[in-house]
């Protein structure tokens, strides 16, 4: 326990970079942090407003009892999908492994302390979801005092079970990939397969076997309950227990969650050194002979440099390939789904087929690789800066590699959409051009934020990939723009389609040129 306490303190002292923010003397860094804080407050206000509005709507419709279950489910899904891709970089962190192995510290203490860091991060996310939602419930329903006591218990316990699932799945992926030759590629492939599999299971759970009847549409509570029972049954059980004052059920849930965490921690502890050795040891052959040497152009050499760095990092690949892969999967799914029939079932008339390519581009723009490509240079950034290359050459290589990375998924998606929609020549031109311009904008926009907020002093790759300012702002910027540009196509009549596409194309070309010129004008020596 003493070791756990000390190691946990070391893990938590710089959570979200707070220790650096508190002690830094760099005025430029403080200015960037203040700007990021303003943006985060704005985004949090939007998210909290959405939660409050949704919970208030459920209360007005007479479905307030489903609010706790809804909050539990949303919080759990956030924990699983945000944490499953960073297990390898947190639990099996490379930095400091040699020093930690030589110290008289047990593997269990190391694993538990790192788990506590992830639990603290997940608890913050859960609290941000629960507090506004439960506040709305309290205002409308006036629950007894026991509800507030159980709320504190449930908020503390809810992250445990999904976090145990995320740690087990992430550790299993890391352990399997550690036994393979190309570890990062294996980890990325397994992560993508896991996400696609989960989405496929979710689609099956909401299939046509139990169709929602018109009567259920009149009973919003029954509809929400059915949806939650199909996706995350514990949410219904614990949510109902909170409403009914079921102390025993809530305590049992907390106990089961702790047992699940203990079992997962024990499994990880037993295999900790074995997995680390598989990840961080290499076998070198000494029979190397110089063969035929090739000379490449500067642009090709820089693209290959980006490719080697990209495919050498499992967290980098698995977190940035999900968006393009999901975009291609959704496009393939359109071959088997009647979008026009789906649009007719919506409460508001929307032209989903017209905006589908824009929405696919939004998915492919999620967390693109270039928005953290500068941060991933880390302590090797001086090498790029010392080469006789201009900022334009270096940054062009990063953007070009990201476009080549997305290209196969983009081509598959476009082919599927052309088959599904059978457009005219002009319409096909817009369907190809505008999504491409959106993806290009997401790359340039993400690179701009990485140049503004570089994270070069990361402890492990996961910090740069998932917990940096650039990864957050740069990763969602293209998505927001794509969704905004899709709205006119969703809501306006088909007669305006070509004019809208022309206006958006010109707007994107101008925006891409402006951001591109700003990026290549950056003084890389100052980063």
What is the 3-class SS of 322-379, one letter each residue? HHHHHHHHHHHHHHHCCHHHHHHCCCCCCCHHHHHHHHHHHHHCCCCHHHHCCHHHHH
Does residue 103 carry a pLDDT above 90?
A: no
Residues 358, 485: contact at Cβ < 8 Å?
Answer: yes
Q: What integer is the mean pLDDT of 128-134?
A: 88
Tell me what pLDDT residue 218 has: 45
Name the 3-class secondary structure at 490. helix
Does residue 160 carry a pLDDT above 80?
A: yes
Residues 453, 470: contact at Cβ < 8 Å?
Answer: yes
Cα dist. 473→337, 402, 479 in Å?
A: 33, 17, 10
Name the 3-class secondary structure at 296. coil
Cα dist. 148→247, 254, 296, 367 in Å?
A: 12, 16, 66, 37
Does residue 400 carry a pLDDT above 90?
A: yes
CA 121 to CA 22: how far, in whole Å? Answer: 19
Does residue 313 carry a pLDDT above 90?
A: no
The full 3-state SS of 420-487, as one line of letters, equals HHCCCHHHHHHHHHHHHHHHHHHHHHHHHHHHHCCCCCCCCHHHHHHCCHHHHHHHHHHHHHHHHHHH
**Angle (deg, nearest 10), helices 352-364 and 469-491:** 170
Does residue 259 carry a pLDDT above 70?
A: yes
Of the candidates 331, 311, 330, which has an alpha carbon nearest to the alpha carbon of residue 321? 311
Under the phi-then-psi rule, with left for phi > 0, alpha for psi from -120 to 50, and beta for the rest, what region is 16? left
CA 176 to CA 87: how far, in whole Å? Answer: 13
Does residue 208 carry a pLDDT above 50?
A: no
The mean pLDDT value of the chain amounts to 81
Residues 482, 407: contact at Cβ < 8 Å?
Answer: no
DSSP 245: T
Q: Quote the percentage of the chain above a pLDDT of 90.
A: 15
Residue 510 parent element (H or E): helix 497-520
Choice among 61-70, 321-330, 466-475 with the minimum mean pLDDT = 466-475
User: What's the predicted TM-score (pTM) here?
Assistant: 0.72
Which tokens belong to 23?
Answer: 């002690």
Tell me what pLDDT residue 272 has: 83
Does residue 484 carry a pLDDT above 60?
A: yes
Under the phi-then-psi rule, with left for phi > 0, alpha for psi from -120 to 50, and beta for the rest, what region is 105? beta
Spell out the residues 6+ positions from residue 152 whose beta carbon is closer than 8 angstroms to its own: none
Name the 3-class secondary structure at 181. coil
Q: What integer is the mean pLDDT of 178-201?
A: 60
CA 256 to CA 254: how far, in whole Å? Answer: 6
Domain boundaries of the chain, sorted by first residue: 2-280, 298-526
CA 498 to CA 494: how far, in whole Å? Answer: 9
């Amino acid at each position: 326990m003493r070791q756990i306490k000390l190691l946990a303190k070391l893990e938590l002292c710089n959570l979200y970079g707070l220790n650096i923010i508190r002690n830094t003397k760099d005025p430029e860094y403080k200015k960037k942090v203040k700007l990021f804080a303003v943006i985060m407050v704005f985004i949090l206000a939007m998210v909290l407003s959405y939660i409050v509005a949704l919970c208030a709507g459920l209360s007005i419709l007479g479905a307030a009892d489903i609010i706790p279950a809804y909050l539990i489910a949303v919080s759990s899904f956030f924990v699983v999908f945000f944490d499953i891709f960073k297990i390898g970089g947190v639990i099996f962190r490379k930095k400091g492994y040699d020093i930690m192995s030589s110290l008289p510290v047990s593997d269990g203490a190391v694993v538990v302390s790192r788990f506590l860091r992830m639990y603290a991060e997940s608890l913050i996310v859960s609290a941000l979801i629960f507090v506004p939602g439960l506040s709305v419930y309290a205002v409308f329903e006036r629950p007894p005092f026991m509800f507030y006591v159980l709320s504190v218990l449930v908020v503390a316990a809810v992250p445990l079970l999904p976090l145990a699932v995320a740690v087990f799945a992430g550790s299993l992926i890391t352990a399997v990939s550690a036994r393979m030759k190309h570890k990062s590629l294996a980890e990325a492939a397994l992560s993508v397969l896991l996400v696609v599999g989960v989405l496929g299971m979710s689609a099956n759970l909401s299939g046509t076997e139990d169709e929602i009847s018109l009567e259920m549409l009149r009973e919003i509570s029954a509809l929400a309950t059915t949806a939650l029972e199909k996706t995350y049954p514990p949410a219904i059980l614990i949510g109902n227990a909170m409403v009914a004052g079921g102390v025993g059920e809530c305590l049992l849930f907390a106990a089961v969650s702790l047992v699940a965490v203990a079992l997962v921690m024990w499994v990880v502890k037993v295999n900790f050194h074995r997995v680390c050795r598989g990840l961080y040891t290499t076998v070198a052959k000494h029979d190397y002979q110089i063969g035929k040497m090739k000379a490449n152009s500067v642009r090709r050499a820089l693209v290959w440099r980006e490719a080697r760095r990209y495919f050498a990092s499992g967290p980098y690949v698995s977190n940035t390939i999900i968006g393009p892969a999901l975009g291609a999967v959704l496009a393939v799914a359109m071959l088997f789904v009647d979008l026009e029939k789906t649009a007719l079932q919506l409460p508001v008339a929307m032209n989903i087929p017209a905006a589908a390519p824009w929405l696919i581009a939004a998915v492919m723009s999620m967390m693109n690789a270039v928005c953290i490509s500068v941060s991933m240079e880390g302590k090797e950034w001086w090498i790029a800066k010392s080469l006789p290359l201009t900022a334009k050459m270096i940054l062009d290589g990063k953007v070009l590699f990201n476009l080549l990375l997305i290209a196969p998924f983009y081509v598959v998606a476009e082919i599927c959409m052309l088959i599904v929609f059978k457009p005219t020549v002009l319409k096909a031109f817009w369907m190809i051009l505008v999504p491409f311009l959106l993806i290009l904008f997401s790359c340039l926009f993400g690179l701009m934020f990485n140049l503004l907020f570089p994270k070069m002093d990361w402890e492990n790759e996961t910090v740069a990939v998932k917990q940096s300012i650039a990864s957050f702002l740069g990763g969602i910027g293209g998505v927001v723009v794509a969704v905004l540009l899709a709205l006119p196509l969703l809501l306006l009549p088909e007669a305006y389609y070509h004019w809208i596409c022309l206006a958006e194309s010109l707007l994107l070309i101008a925006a891409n040129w402006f951001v591109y010129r700003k990026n290549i004008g950056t003084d890389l020596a100052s980063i």
